[in-house]
Homo-oligomer: A and B are copies of this chain.
Amino acid sequence: MQASTRWLPCQQENPCAYNDCMSATHDTISHALSRVARLHRSAAGQLLRRLGLHPGQELLMMQLWDHGPQPQSQLIDLLGLDASTVTRMVQRLEQAGFVRRRRSDDDRRAVVVEPTAAAQALQEQVVHAWQQLEDLTLRGLDEPERAAVAELLGRIENNLSQPG
A interface residues, Cβ below 8 angstroms from B: 1, 4, 6-7, 9-10, 12, 17-20, 23-25, 28-44, 59, 62, 65-71, 73-74, 77-78, 80-81, 123, 126-127, 130, 133-134, 136-141, 145-146, 148-150, 152-157, 159-161, 164
Tell which of A20, A28, A153 has the most Cβ of chain B within 10 Å.
A153
Cα–Cα distance between A133 and B43 once the two chains are bound (Å): 26
Q: Is the interface of A mostly helix, strand, loop or mixed?
A: helix
Chain B residues with CB under 8 Å of A160's CB are 36, 39-40, 42-43, 136-137
Q: How near does chain B come to A82, taking the closest CB pair, in angstroms?
A: 10
**B30→A130 contact, CB < 8 A:** yes
